[in-house]
């Protein structure tokens, strides 16, 4: 029943919505759809958006075997390969114009992480080894150009001079500063590296995954507050008192997945890694419990809490990741059936309130009091089919 429901929502909702945004004149996908379903054919095309579309349709083809999904992934890849790289100075542009010319030339570790993530999935779907080589080129570029002695730097100008990290720490802008490092970028870098290691078992990538896990346990996680800190200076000092509930529950299952991949490749043989995995287990247990008790109210997820004040806006991706995080949390902790109950309750809320019956795609945000949709975009640089598409795919595997 659950598998059929997930497949129906994916195949008849999310996937066709994005397939219909294919730009057959300039390539890629139209970059913006507003609340009224008006497509902006000359909207900016985000590299994160095209990478996530490449990832989703590759995974859909792998899981469902439909050739049209592979063709859609190929369409995304061709635009990505042709237009998103800075062929002169390296790395990926933040965005292009509708016609494929460079738009926002900022380089960001977050963007390149999703480039790797999408490429690895398309390599698996297509079997073309050149695609894997391309993913490795981005991996080595990040490791050589986006690191310092303590981890990863994030935002750069076109020539790879470090600049203010506006793209993923804009929440700090009213305070007059930006974060040097963010939990968000580290999480999705871990996600990308985990997939790259899974498909090819490269020792250098394995070490990078372990390094990122160590950063999470020893720099990002705050055991006293049972949460991941969000924004940091270069020394990993937390810059604001906040808990991002969606990221915490997403991190718990993605980090569990990274550990499972490492173990499947025999990477838990030495004492340091085994002890790290034990620490991770305790951390993720705490994160799930913390989010369950703090953020979940009547099958709805609070977005975050900042300096003691809850933000009750209901956000599409937070609810999708809560379904993933709690359902997978139950598999990790079967003595907590309330996690599966939570996942199914949130799923019911999603079906009743988030899914747009006009399009099959999800609303971006709902009002925290009325549960009515806010008039925000259905597609844009950040409103992508990655979180909700992945949720349906993951539910089909439960």
Tell me if 74 is assigned to some domain: yes
CATH number, residue 334: 1.50.10.10
Domain assignment present for 259: yes
Dist CA 330 CA 188 (whole Å) = 23
pTM exceeds 0.95, yes or no: yes
Contact 109, 53 (CB under 8 A): no
What is the pLDDT at residue 90? 97
Cβ(39)–Cβ(30) under 8 Å? yes
State residue 170's pLDDT score.
85
Taking the C-alpha atoms of residue 393 and residue 28, their distance in angstroms, rounded to an integer, is 23
Residue 258 lies in a domain: yes
Q: Is residue 203 part of a domain?
A: yes
Given this model, what pLDDT does residue 4 score?
Answer: 96
* Residue whose token pair is 């995974």: 59
Domain count, the chain: 1
Residue 285, judged by CB atoms within 10 A of its CB (0-12, 13-18, 19+), counts as: middle
What is the residue whose two structure tokens read 């073309």? Answer: 128
User: What distance, in Å, lies between the first and last C-alpha atoms of the chain?
Assistant: 11
List, for the chain, all residue ranges whose pLDDT scores fall below the cut of 50: none
Cα 317–Cα 322–Cα 323 angle in degrees, nearest 5: 105
* Beta strand extents in the chain (DSSP E only): 32-33, 39-40, 45-46, 95-96, 107-108, 147-148, 151-152, 155-156, 181-182, 221-222, 227-228, 231-232, 242-244, 296-297, 300-301, 304-306, 309-311, 314-315, 365-366
Under 8 Å between Cβ of 325 and 250: yes
Determine the pLDDT at residue 365: 98
Residue 132 lies in a domain: yes
The verdict on residue 110 lying in a domain is: yes
What count of Cα atoms within 13 Å lies in the side-chain half-sphere of residue 305?
A: 17
Q: Is the residue at 398 inside a domain? A: no
Is 189 part of any domain?
yes
Full domain range(s) for residue 301: 2-393
- Between CA 2 and CA 242 the distance in angstroms is 34
């Amino acid at each position: 029943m659950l598998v059929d429901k997930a497949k129906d929502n994916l195949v008849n909702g999310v996937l066709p919505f994005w397939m219909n945004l294919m730009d057959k004149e300039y390539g890629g996908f139209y970059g913006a759809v507003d609340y009224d379903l008006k497509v902006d054919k000359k909207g900016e095309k985000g590299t994160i958006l095209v990478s996530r579309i490449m990832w989703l349709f590759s995974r859909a083809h792998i899981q469902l075997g439909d050739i049209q999904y592979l063709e859609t992934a190929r369409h995304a890849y061709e635009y990505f390969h042709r237009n998103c790289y800075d062929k002169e100075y390296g790395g990926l542009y933040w965005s292009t114009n509708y016609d494929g010319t460079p738009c926002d030339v900022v380089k960001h570790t977050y963007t390149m992480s999703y480039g790797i993530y999408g490429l690895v999935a398309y390599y698996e779907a297509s079997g073309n080894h050149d695609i894997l080589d391309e993913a490795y080129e981005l991996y080595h570029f990040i490791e050589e150009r986006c690191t310092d002695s303590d981890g990863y730097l994030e935002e750069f100008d076109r020539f790879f001079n470090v600049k203010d990290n506006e793209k993923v720490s804009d929440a700090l802008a009213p305070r007059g500063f930006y974060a040097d490092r963010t939990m968000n970028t580290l999480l999705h870098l871990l996600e990308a590296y985990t997939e790259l290691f899974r498909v090819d078992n490269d020792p250098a990538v394995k070490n990078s995954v372990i390094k990122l896990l160590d950063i999470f346990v020893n720099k990002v996680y705050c055991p006293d507050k049972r949460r991941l800190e969000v924004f940091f200076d270069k020394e990993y000092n937390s810059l604001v008192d906040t808990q991002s509930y969606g990221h915490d529950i997403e991190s718990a299952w993605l980090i569990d997945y990274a550990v499972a991949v490492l173990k499947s490749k025999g990477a838990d043989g030495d004492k340091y890694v085994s002890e790290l995995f034990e620490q991770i287990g305790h951390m993720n247990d705490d994160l799930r419990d913390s989010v369950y008790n703090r953020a979940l109210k009547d099958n709805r997820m609070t977005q975050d809490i900042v300096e003691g004040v809850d933000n009750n806006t209901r956000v599409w991706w937070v609810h999708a990741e809560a379904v993933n995080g709690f359902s997978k949390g139950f598999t990790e902790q079967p003595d907590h059936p309330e996690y599966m109950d939570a996942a199914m309750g949130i799923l019911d809320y999603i079906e009743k309130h988030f899914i747009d019956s006009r399009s099959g795609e999800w609303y971006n945000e709902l009002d925290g009091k009325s549960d009515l949709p806010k008039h925000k975009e259905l597609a844009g640089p950040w409103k992508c089919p990655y979180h909700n598409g992945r949720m349906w795919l993951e539910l089909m595997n439960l």
